[in-house]
């Protein structure tokens, strides 16, 4: 079974920089041993001519500067966390804490500090490890370049538009990858799975160890169907899985361990997580305390861009087969209508009093209309009609409602008008 330890941001934030730091710090005694044993460091183009006092001064300055800058970088990260939690969304903290730039920066400065501190212990009047001291100088130069890059990266991290673009890119990549897997798997055969298996614990459905689950199902000669959608919340007594035949309690516990139940939402399910993240950013922007319509519009445009990738793709459950090409695991269908509902229903309700955002939502529906089959168009038409009804109930002027209606597809506008005329004739 795959380990899930590195999906926790706190673990990653402290573990990865620590590994980098101790790896760099371990280079100092290695270089000292090599330099002393092979009589190196007395000459060379890149080797600085240090005596024992100057070597101690340089190493002390580098160690002090590195640990000071390390505290500065962590302070900047905490400031970014605070700004992101207040202005963008608290769930972005998980992504910030696992970013490679933050980890490498902390590890590099921590490693430079340890390197200089360890090297300082080997300096004495009879032996000055000049190559080791030169390595500390090179590390300090590398730290300067990394600090400049880190500050630039931090400044981009607090830009809402940049964050929305990054989230959209990850969402689009995850959707494309999933749909490619669905296309490769083909149609799902009819499999009767009547034996229910409860979740065993309450929480959000996270990562699934698919390979291990297939191997276990093959060993027990069963088919496992995931009933609950990934990313959703499940109670301990709710049915999470359906099996083709009854299994023992020990096997049931093994199966449960392969479907990870998390105490909070995480990026282990990137599609659901990123959709909810964009919706959260838009809803937060539409709150009275923020009232940032253009951020909500950017989130809506990004959602339409991501959903356009699967509007023309056939959606069906994803099944996984064993080595003998026998179906063993069936994952839930990731349908266009479900994702559209998750994204646009909350946004439609929140845009009732904001006409510019309502127009952006209408344009998003218009972009998606016609990309897929008739069933998808019917879902989009329903969302469009609900949007107009929401605006009418909010008491907007007919001219304002017509401005939103004009951004909808022509066929949807006509359907809405026909229904309105029929309603007036009945009255």
Instruction: Characterize 350-359 residue by residue with b for buried, 16 or more Cβ atoms within 10 angstroms of its Cβ, and e for exposed.
Output: bbbebbebbb
Q: What is the C-alpha to C-alpha distance for residues 126 and 18, in angstroms, rounded to an integer? A: 33
The DSSP H or E segment spanning 206 is strand 203-208
Decide if 129 contacts 123 (C-beta within 8 A).
yes
Question: If you count them, how many residues does the chain have?
Answer: 427
Q: Which among 110, 132, 106, 125 has a CA at the least distance from the CA of 48?
A: 132
Task: Return d(Cα 2, Cα 213) in angstroms, integer.
Answer: 11
Domains of the chain: 5-158 (no CATH), 160-333 (3.90.1170.30), 351-427 (no CATH)
**What mean pLDDT value characterizes the chain?**
80
- Cα(164)–Cα(299) distance, integer angstroms: 6
Ramachandran bin of 89, using left for φ above 0, alpha for ψ from -120 to 50, beta for the remaining angles:
left
> What would the mean pLDDT of 95-115 be, rounded to a whole number?
83
Instruction: Kindly report the pTM of this predicted structure.
Output: 0.68
Question: Which residue, 388, 393, 423, 426, is CA-closest to 404?
Answer: 388
pLDDT digits (tens, 9 = 90+) for 257-283: 888 888 777 666 778 888 888 888 888
Tens digits of residue pLDDT in 132-170: 888 899 999 999 999 888 888 877 766 778 788 888 888
Confidence of residue 111 (pLDDT cuts 50, 70, 90): very high
pLDDT tens sequence across 322-346? 788 788 888 887 778 888 888 889 9
């Amino acid at each position: 079974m795959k380990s899930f330890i590195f999906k926790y941001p706190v673990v990653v934030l402290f573990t990865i920089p620590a590994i980098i730091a101790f790896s760099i710090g371990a280079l100092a005694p290695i270089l000292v041993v090599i330099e002393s044993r092979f009589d190196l460091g007395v000459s060379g183009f890149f080797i600085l001519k240090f005596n024992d006092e100057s070597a101690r001064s340089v190493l002390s300055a580098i160690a002090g500067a590195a640990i000071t800058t390390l505290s500065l970088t962590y302070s900047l990260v905490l400031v970014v966390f605070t700004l992101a939690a207040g202005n963008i969304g608290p769930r972005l903290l998980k992504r910030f804490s696992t970013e490679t730039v933050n980890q490498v920066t902390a590890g590099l400065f921590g490693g430079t500090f340890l390197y200089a501190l360890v090297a300082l212990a080997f300096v004495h009047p009879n032996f000055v490890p000049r190559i080791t001291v030169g390595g500390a100088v090179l590390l300090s130069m590398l730290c300067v370049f990394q600090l400049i890059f880190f500050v630039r990266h931090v400044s981009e991290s607090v830009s809402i538009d940049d964050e929305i673009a990054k989230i959209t890119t990850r969402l689009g990549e995850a959707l494309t990858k999933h749909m490619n897997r669905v296309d490769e798997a083909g149609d799902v055969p009819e499999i009767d799975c009547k034996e229910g298996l409860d979740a065993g614990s309450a929480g959000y459905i996270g990562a699934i160890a698919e390979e291990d689950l297939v191997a276990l199902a093959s060993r027990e000669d069963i088919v496992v169907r995931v009933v609950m959608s990934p990313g959703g919340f499940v109670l301990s007594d709710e049915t999470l899985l359906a099996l083709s035949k009854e299994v023992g309690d020990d096997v049931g516990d093994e199966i449960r361990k392969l479907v990870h139940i998390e105490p909070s939402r995480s990026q282990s399910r990137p599609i659901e997580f990123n959709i909810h993240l964009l919706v959260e950013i838009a809803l937060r922007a539409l709150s009275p305390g923020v009232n940032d319509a253009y951020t909500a519009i950017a989130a809506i445009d990004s959602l339409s861009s991501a959903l356009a990738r699967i509007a023309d793709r056939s959606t069906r459950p994803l099944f996984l087969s064993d080595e003998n090409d026998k179906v063993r695991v069936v994952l839930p269908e990731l349908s266009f209508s479900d994702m559209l509902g998750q994204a646009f229903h909350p946004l439609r309700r929140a845009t009732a009093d904001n006409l510019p955002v309502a127009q952006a939502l209408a344009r998003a529906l218009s972009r998606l209309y016609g990309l897929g089959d008739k069933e998808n168009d019917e879902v989009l038409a329903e969302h469009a009609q609900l949007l107009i009804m929401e605006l009418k109930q909010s008491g907007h002027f007919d001219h304002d409602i017509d401005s939103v209606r004009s951004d909808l597809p022509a066929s949807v506008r006509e359907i809405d008008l026909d229904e309105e005329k029929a309603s007036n004739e009945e009255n």
